[in-house]
Amino acid sequence: MRAELGAKTGDTVSKLGLSNEGSYPDQIVVDKCWYPLDEARLQETLSLLHSRGLTIGKDVDLGKLIWLRQARNLPFQVIEDIESAAVVRAVHSTYQVSGFVGQLYPYQEDGLAFLQLVASQSLGCILADEMGLGKTVQLIALMQSEANSKRGPSLIVAPATLLENWRRELQQFSPGLSVNVHRGPTRYGSAEKLAAFNVVITSFDTAVRDELLLAATAWNVLAIDEAQNIRNPEAHRTLSIKRLQRRVSIAVTGTPVENRLADLWSISDFALPGLLGSLSDFRAEFDDTSTDAYRLSAIVNPILLRRRVAEVAADLPERIDIPQCIAMTQALAAAYEKVRRQVKEEYGRSAALASLQRLRMFCTHPMLLEHWGADPALLMPKYQRLLEILEEVFSRGEKALVFCGYRRMVDILCSDLPQRFPKTFTTFIDGRTTIAERQAKVDQFSGALGPAVLILNPKAAGTGLNITAANHVIHYNPEWNPAVVDQASARAYRRRQTRRVTVHYLYFADTVEDVMIQRLTSKRGLAGAAVVGHGGEATQADILRALDISPISNASVLE
């Protein structure tokens, strides 16, 4: 990349195009105007640049640009604002990663080029694309690229709710990588064994618990997914993760600043320690004002890549579907297994669709079947993931539809969400809502200023309503019939929708929900190929498979 350097004399800033042969002039002409030059300051500037391997008029690589951004009390300033996007344009031509079987959108190719540039210089960065733009797949492409270069093992630290999703995504896009999910009582206790894998995935809690074990390996890339989890600079979790050895640090987050500018300090300090100085110096220099936010962006821009959906709209389909596979906790898996065995013993091989209702209700929330405590998020990773998605949606002032097929769960959501998000408008539509009330609730939701959530039953409210005020759809529990799911999504994804719609599908791994999602995917593929129709309920084979699958036997559980 190329960055132009400038010298500052008094209040005048000018670009320099000076020869370093002979004596230096005491004046310069810029746009037909004469400006005086302070020769002593110019000599000091050139000497300092030379000591860092910088020459006026020559290329400035990313590492040197970062030094320029973080250096204090320089006798000159960088005139040209350089953003990570400019870096990408300068280095990116085309991408090809052997072993990576996914198809990247053009902006994702740019993202991969940026990550490769950062990795090639042993630096760090923040990948802060908005939700739905595929941060995971860009990082997987980098992991494959790094493995091809045989640079050693890489570590991904993510929320426990996302570990199984990471494992499946790696298997889908880079099936040749050796991957270990470091969790639970059977996890390896040997650093040597962990270092034998291309990629190790673990949760924040396990990373803290096993800090000494993980610190014994010099990781090639250390990537933190949902890096807002380390925004508290003084938290034990943050400090433990920052102590891990790594060559390259990548923070992945759709919300680099949630509440205060200090959030960005903590994440940047992981990505590139020292970039923003010490925490005390940062707090003294930056307040939570728009002016200071602008000044801060100039410093972090070289290491922060953030694309918004609206900015890359030409590359995207009008609807972005995101399946979210979630592992159960050990306690949850054991409780599910108990229900599964009871159902199987009761119905056997003659089980009908109704026999799966208890399993589906349990996956929606155990509170539908038994007492689970007062907090619906307690030991319930799917509910926790729902809250994480809503938090990001609401932080952008946007609206979401949440589809749920069970009345009791609708009540739980309507009771709990307003307590967690008191500034967010919340309402529901299900079989209890009269025809007259439905449109009134849609109008209230659509007219609400700022973030809002509308909770709907997919069969009672999945047709006939136009709710284009929402550009996020969350299917909290799957349905057997793909037509029901798509009709529900079409409440937001329809004519007059002016924005991209992101559709999330939340489901538990190795449960009845996993079978339902697999069937949904298969049916859509056949419908797309015009082989069979799109709808239909479950077959007997689907039912038996749903009764046989278990999160216990397949070990897709969290510690």
Mean pLDDT across 146-169:
94
- Contact, 271 vs 303, CB < 8 A? yes
Q: Please tell me the predicted confidence (pLDDT) of residue 490.
A: 83
Top mean-pLDDT range of 9-13, 348-352, 413-417 = 413-417
Q: With cut-offs at 50, 70 and 90, classify the pLDDT of residue 308.
A: confident
**Tokens encoding 273:** 């320690």
Residues 509-544 have pLDDT tens digits of 999 999 999 888 876 655 443 333 445 566 778 887
Q: Please tell me the predicted confidence (pLDDT) of residue 16.
A: 37
Q: Please tell me the predicted confidence (pLDDT) of residue 59.
A: 59
Q: With cut-offs at 50, 70 and 90, classify the pLDDT of residue 182.
A: very high
- Contact, 167 vs 121, CB < 8 A? no
| Amino acid (one-letter) located at 16 | L
Q: Bridge-partner residues for 427, per DSSP? A: 454
Question: What burial class does residue 120 get, using C-beta atoms within 10 Å of its C-beta: 0-12 exposed, 13-18 middle, 19+ buried?
Answer: middle
Distance CA 269, CA 266 (A): 5
Q: Tell me the torsion sign for CA atoms 265, 268, 273, 274.
A: negative
Q: Please tell me the predicted confidence (pLDDT) of residue 76.
A: 52
Q: Which residues contact 458 (CB under 8 A, 6 or more apart)?
A: 403, 404, 405, 475, 479, 484, 485, 487, 488
Distance CA 28, CA 295 (A): 28
Instruction: Tell me the pairing of strands 124-127 and 304-305.
Output: parallel
Picking from 334, 303, 320, 338, the residue whose alpha carbon sits closest to that of residue 505 is 320
**Tokens encoding 163:** 């570990």
Residue predicted with more confidence, 418 or 45? 418
Share of the chain above pLDDT 70, in %: 77
Question: What global pTM score does this model have?
Answer: 0.78
Alpha carbon distance, N-terminus to C-terminus of the chain: 45
pLDDT at 466 over 60: yes
Q: With cut-offs at 50, 70 and 90, classify the pLDDT of residue 21.
A: very low
Summary mean pLDDT of the chain:
82
Dihedrals phi, psi of 486, to nearest 5 degrees: -70, -35
Residues 59-100 have pLDDT tens digits of 556 666 666 655 555 555 544 444 444 444 445 445 689 999
- Residue 331, SS3 per DSSP: helix
Q: With cut-offs at 50, 70 and 90, classify the pLDDT of residue 168.
A: very high
Residues 335-379 have pLDDT tens digits of 999 999 988 888 776 667 777 889 999 999 999 987 777 788 888
Q: Please tell me the predicted confidence (pLDDT) of residue 2.
A: 35
- Contact, 264 vs 256, CB < 8 A? yes
Q: Please tell me the predicted confidence (pLDDT) of residue 84.
A: 46
Q: Bridge-partner residues for 10, per DSSP? A: none
Q: With cut-offs at 50, 70 and 90, classify the pLDDT of residue 20.
A: very low
Q: Where are the beta strands (DSSP E) in 253-372?
A: 304-305, 319-326, 328-329
Q: Please tell me the predicted confidence (pLDDT) of residue 202.
A: 96
Q: Please tell me the predicted confidence (pLDDT) of residue 498.
A: 74
**22 vs 17, 19, 51, 55, 320, CA distance in Å?**
14, 8, 19, 16, 61
- Contact, 508 vs 382, CB < 8 A? yes
Q: Which domains does the chain have, with CATH numbers?
A: 5-80 (no CATH), 85-315 (3.40.50.10810), 319-558 (3.40.50.300)
**Tokens encoding 332:** 């949850």
Q: Where are the beta strands (DSSP E) in 177-276?
A: 179-182, 199-203, 219-225, 246-252
Mean pLDDT across 286-290:
84
